Amino acid sequence: MSASLSDILTALKNGVVAINGLNSEFTTFTNNVGAPTLLTRASATTSYATVYTCPAGVVTYVTDINICNTTGAAITAYVSLVASGGTAGASNAIFYNTNIPAYSTMQWTGSQVLGSGGTIQVYSSSTGCTISISGGVS
């Protein structure tokens, strides 16, 4: 018996790396959501701000996060994937207290799932950071 999409998402959430039939279910999942696209692009502020909210009744997958420091000084950046009703912080961070050198870009590539109503929240130690996030919705 192959795994359902719900089984796959639960396994991803719990860190399980192998499920019977995962390959075909993952192919079905990626065929349904299509190629990754730009989810959001925003300027970080000096306190946590929501830059993306997962629509109701779907899940969002995040595949790529770019942080560009456009200033002449280093900036510290924070990016959190926050479950619906949660609070941004160390427990849900993708970037946490990450130094972005002057005039440079930091990139994360991977696979994270954000449930319905979940948010992506960002902030930086000073203005001058642009955040671009790619992925898809299913």
The string of pLDDT tens digits covering residues 114-134 is 999 999 999 999 999 999 999
Same domain, 60 and 124: yes
Contacts of 23 (CB under 8 A, 6+ apart): none
With residue 24 as reference, give the H or E element that holds it.
helix 22-33
Judged by DSSP in three states, 93 sits in: strand
Residue 25 domain boundaries: 1-33
Residue 18, token pair as written in the block: 């192998």
Residue 77 phi, psi (nearest 5): -120, 150
Are 84 and 131 contained in the same domain?
Answer: yes
The pTM for the full model equals: 0.76
**pLDDT tens digits, one per residue of 81-111:** 999 999 999 999 999 999 999 999 999 999 9
58-76 pLDDT per residue, tens: 999 999 999 999 999 999 9
Rounded average pLDDT over 40-59:
96
Same domain membership, residue 44 and residue 25: no
My answer on whether 87 and 116 are in the same domain is yes
